[in-house]
Amino acid sequence: MGRKERRDRELKRDSYATKHSAEKKKHTLIAIGVISLIAVIVGYSGYLFLNMTETAPGGPENAGALGSEHSHAALLVKIFGDTFDFDGPAFQIKSSWIHFEGRDGTTIHKHATGVDLGYLFDTLLIGLDDQCYTFPDGKQFCSNEDYELKFFINGEQTPDIRNYEIMEEDRILIVYGAETPEEIEAYLLELDSQELIK
């Protein structure tokens, strides 16, 4: 084998080693960049989570920071005498501020000050005002000359509950139908016997 061939082989070998080394550096730099980006994203997300306040996405307008309150209230909804329970997945933990959880559909959990029942029903996609109770599928139950939508907080009838902020141990009854005072009293007793799941 001649010197020229040997030199060509050495040049090829050096060229291959240089190219391979450059390739390895390139992949290492890309991996470091990706890992750094992931670390920044995770760090920022953790910071946002730990510092959630009323300005956090999805929160109610006047709410305090998450964890500023932890209250529980019992809710009973009766439509033509049938109980509507919020234990299905469509109604569980739709907001961090106020929700139903743990497959329980009767205990409201509120985790911040300034959060009212109107916000709870908005997160559940249930329309609620002083005249109508509207399910997510659009089915409405509105007060008319035959049937009435009524609200009770701790046994006292109230014209509207949207702006009400629950307090610990509250009992809330929503009734639609033509119930007699005796039937309403029976519902209130049923509501009082509901266990709060904390």
What digits encode the pLDDT tens for the residues 124-136?
Answer: 999 999 999 999 9
Q: How confident is the model at residue 55 (pLDDT cuts 50, 70, 90)?
A: very low
Task: Tell whether 44 and 86 lie within a shared domain.
Answer: no
| Region 18-26 average pLDDT | 71
pLDDT of amino acid 8: 67
Task: Tell whether 144 and 91 lie within a shared domain.
Answer: yes
Q: Which amino acid is at 106?
A: T
pLDDT of amino acid 175: 98
Task: Tell whether 88 and 46 lie within a shared domain.
Answer: no
Instruction: Answer yes or no: is pLDDT of 149 > 60.
Output: yes
Task: Tell whether 78 and 23 lie within a shared domain.
Answer: no
Instruction: Answer yes or no: is pLDDT of 109 > 50.
Output: yes
Task: Tell whether 130 and 36 lie within a shared domain.
Answer: no
Does some domain include residue 173?
yes
Task: Tell whether 38 and 79 lie within a shared domain.
Answer: no
| Region 145-166 average pLDDT | 97
Task: Tell whether 112 and 147 lie within a shared domain.
Answer: yes
Domain span including residue 40: 1-51
- Please tell me the total count of domains within the chain: 2
Task: Tell whether 26 and 109 lie within a shared domain.
Answer: no
Q: Are 77 and 110 in contact (CB under 8 A)?
A: no
Q: Are 132 and 141 in contact (CB under 8 A)?
A: yes
Q: Are 69 and 113 in contact (CB under 8 A)?
A: yes
Task: Tell whether 84 and 122 lie within a shared domain.
Answer: yes
| Entry field: residues in the chain | 198
Instruction: Answer yes or no: is pLDDT of 53 > 50.
Output: no
Task: Tell whether 79 and 175 lie within a shared domain.
Answer: yes
Q: How confident is the model at residue 14 (pLDDT cuts 50, 70, 90)?
A: low
